[in-house]
Structure 1
């Protein structure tokens, strides 16, 4: 019987592969739940509107707010409150800009599809946000990180409820992850998790 690998024994590439597999599972769950919960394709299509003004202004504005709050918190609060074991740094370390764009788009699309498009439309804002935060397992034992992820989920959920447009939250989620990924990619080696 083989021993289970610890997180430290995974290469950065293996961690990213696991992230891609997780996003594929999220997309699969979304497809299955969408087929079960939505009455028609028209009901599904109603969630997607290519209306650039709210996508760019509201989605982009929400992303800038989240990133600004995160940077302020990192400056004002103890570093230990943000320690996720270096996983985020390892996920983004060494990625090319095109790869970072692809990865963060997939994450934003898959997670917003499931948590806002499927779960929020059927379970409501609070429950879908709690599920979103709880599924970020590495943050559950970190009260600040868990509260921050829950707050972001609530913000994105409120934004979706207000605009009734998944493209707004997909763009916001993508932009937050992309900007934070750029920061982590650029700061490799500066933090204790960098090699």
Structure 2
């Protein structure tokens, strides 16, 4: 049996239609959400679980939306001034967002933000701590490992979002920040002038 040539991730991504890629993202997020729900069932009482969520709007604004906006501004500056070969993720983000309208981008950002933060902050961070959760979150974004700018960016972002949860104890803060960041960057990828 001859060895099959291994395809690079970028080649595999290009073989998928935009819709197939979006559905793959949604499926992975549903797996994260399922894992978080199962872990929560075994780790938390209902009161502990619901205690992770606190509708403190000023806290969400100050510790979630403002830092999230700063993150997006920094990302846009990197995109603008750093050569594409250092930050490009193989066209994945462009392919995900280019066929979605603003409402669909918001829905996708919400699915991603809720599922990832519920698993990584709500479950892993709450049970194993800030460093473990932030490190695992960064490692899950494996597609960034060969792009130094993206890798540093996702590591710093992971620890920033973890710190938001660490200082507030409010899972809504990192959820809203994550949704906001993904939504704004999704809008950028969808509507930017070429």
Residues 84-99 of structure 1 mapped to structure 2, 5 A cutoff: 84-99=89-104
Post-superposition CA distance 1:170-193 (Å, at most 9, x none):
1100000000000000127x2xxx
- 1:19 maps to 25
- Cα separation, 1, equivalents of 2:188 and 2:12: 26
Residues 11-90 of structure 1 mapped to structure 2, 5 A cutoff: 11-38=17-44, 40-90=45-95
Unaligned runs of 5+ in 1: 191-195
SS at match of 1:48: coil
Post-superposition CA distance 1:101-144 (Å, at most 9, x none):
11111111111101111111111111111111111121122222
- Cα separation, 1, equivalents of 2:127 and 2:104: 33
- Cα separation, 1, equivalents of 2:63 and 2:13: 37
Post-superposition CA distance 1:153-175 (Å, at most 9, x none):
10011110111101111110000
**Match of residue 171, structure 1, among 176, 182, 190:** 176
- Cα separation, 2, equivalents of 1:42 and 1:70: 38
- Cα separation, 2, equivalents of 1:93 and 1:72: 20
Residues 145-160 of structure 1 mapped to structure 2, 5 A cutoff: 145-160=150-165
- Cα separation, 2, equivalents of 1:141 and 1:167: 31
Unaligned runs of 5+ in 2: none
- Cα separation, 2, equivalents of 1:7 and 1:185: 18
SS at match of 2:74: helix
Post-superposition CA distance 1:72-123 (Å, at most 9, x none):
2223322211111100000000211111111111111111101111111111
SS at match of 1:49: coil
- Cα separation, 2, equivalents of 1:155 and 1:164: 14
SS at match of 1:6: helix
Q: CA RMSD in A?
A: 1.6
TM-score, length-scaled by structure 2 = 0.91
TM-score, length-scaled by structure 1 = 0.90
Q: CA deviation at 1:58?
A: 1.8
Size of the alignment, in residue pairs? 186
- Cα separation, 1, equivalents of 2:61 and 2:34: 28
